[in-house]
Amino acid sequence: MDAVAGHAHISKQSLYREYPSKDALYCAVVLDWVEHGYDAMRPHATALSEAHDAREGLLVLARVMQAGLLSPPVLQMRTLIAAEAQRFPEVASDYVTRSWSRNIHVLATALDVLAARGLLRIDDSDLAAEQLTWLVVAAPLNRLTLQAGAHPYSEDELEAVAAQGVATFLSRYGPGDMDRR
């Protein structure tokens, strides 16, 4: 708490007045994190919904999702929340609901727009949004969070993951696949 107070340029007493315990401070930090990232996906989803070419729009979005979800601050926060999920289940649940689930729904709405424009064929856009997300971030996310000391993916490796993820997504949800369902 001394280090936090010093970094914030406030007295330790002021810090304890606002956050009476380390637990309260932890909860406030995660809440603040979620609040600052609340609409991070919206402009990118809007750009996707306005894309003229679904593949290109999805590739751009895939790169954005990789850059965001695989950034060191996001990885650190996800790791912290996962490590503390047993002690603070309400904080982890709130993070999932207001960060992850909300952004999946924002993406789903953009996918619905593409489907309405005939660029995709989707019957469950929330499921499709979740599938797209995992197709483009799962392997790098696992490496960076579960393999201590693992080297990050190179730009070329991330581009390949994005391209293959989008290709897989389009093989299921592309406009010409209705006969394969």
Token pair for 82: 């996962």
Task: Provide CATH code, domain 22-180.
Answer: 1.10.357.10
User: Cα separation of 90 and 123, whole Å?
Assistant: 32
What counts of helices (H) and strands (E) characterise the chain? 10, 0
* pLDDT given for residue 178 in this prediction: 43
CA-wise closest residue to 125 among 110, 140, 138, 135: 110
User: Cα separation of 111 and 103, whole Å?
Assistant: 12
- Residue 54's Cβ-count burial label (10 Å; 0-12, 13-18, 19+) is buried
What's the start-to-end Cα distance of the chain, in Å? 57
* pLDDT given for residue 16 in this prediction: 83
Domain boundaries, the chain: 22-180
* pLDDT given for residue 180 in this prediction: 43
Q: How does pLDDT run along the chain (181 residues), one tens digit per residue?
A: 788 778 888 888 888 888 888 899 899 989 888 887 767 889 999 999 999 999 999 999 999 999 999 998 998 899 999 999 999 999 999 989 888 888 999 999 999 999 999 999 999 999 999 999 999 999 999 888 887 777 888 999 999 999 999 999 999 999 974 444 4
E strands of 18-142, at which residues? none
* pLDDT given for residue 51 in this prediction: 97
* pLDDT given for residue 150 in this prediction: 77
* pLDDT given for residue 47 in this prediction: 97
* pLDDT given for residue 148 in this prediction: 72
CA-wise closest residue to 44 among 131, 127, 137, 107: 107
